[in-house]
Amino acid sequence: MSIEIRTYGDSVLRRVADPLTKIDAEAKRIAEKMVEAMIRANGIGLAAPQIGVSKRIIVLDLNGEFHILLNPEIIETSQESEEIVEGCLSIPGVNAEVTRKLRTHLRGITLDEKPVDIEGEGLMARAIQHEIDHLNGVLFVDYLSPARRRSLLKEYHRKQKEKDE
Ligand code: ZN
């Protein structure tokens, strides 16, 4: 059975996800499903709420190497930002320019319960910030001006409708 990626309008995407209190078989199962869904969707990152699980788990594809991070936190970011076109697997078919920090330092826990640090720059820093946002119920469209957001979501809904027809 394929794993469905939740899309815009699904309330799970707006919830603040819960931290994991223990790393058990269930957490491993969720993480495996997330990696599978990310690969199938050709994404470079995915957050648990995107498969309907309101838990603080993200997966990242760092140049073909998969990282599973539990309870991840951004502990440092650069002052410098950059504006780049960005999209989201949960809002497929539309993109917009979003300003994000150029570099981030992420800390999380692996499935083996080991602390892990990842320093990302450019695209990876962007993916990290985007996925952490998902854990806080934030979507990239939230950074757009109201007018830009309206027109982007209009385009998104039109494309979704076309796809369903
Ligand atoms: Zn996303």
Q: How far is the CA of 161 from the centre of ligand 1 (A)?
A: 20
Residue 5 domain-assigned?
no
pLDDT at 160: 92
Catalytic residues: 131
Residues 6+ apart with CB under 8 A from 142: 149
Cα–Cα dist 160/165, whole Å: 9
pLDDT at 163: 85
Cα–Cα dist 78/129, whole Å: 12
The domain spanning residue 54 has which CATH number? Answer: 3.90.45.10
pLDDT at 1: 55
Residue 2 domain-assigned?
no
Residue 6 domain-assigned?
no
Look up the domain containing 150 and give its range: 11-164
Indicate whether this model's pTM tops 0.85. yes
Q: Are 35 and 120 in contact (CB under 8 A)?
A: no
pLDDT at 31: 96
- Residues around the ion ligand 1 (C-beta < 5 A): 88
pLDDT at 134: 98
Q: How far is the CA of 40 from the centre of ligand 1 (A)?
A: 15
pLDDT tens for the chain, residues 1 to 165: 578 999 999 999 999 999 999 999 999 999 999 999 999 999 999 999 999 999 999 999 988 889 999 999 999 999 999 999 999 999 999 999 999 999 999 999 999 999 999 999 999 999 999 999 999 999 999 999 999 999 999 999 999 999 888
| Count of domains for the chain | 1
Residue 131 domain-assigned?
yes
Residue 156 domain-assigned?
yes
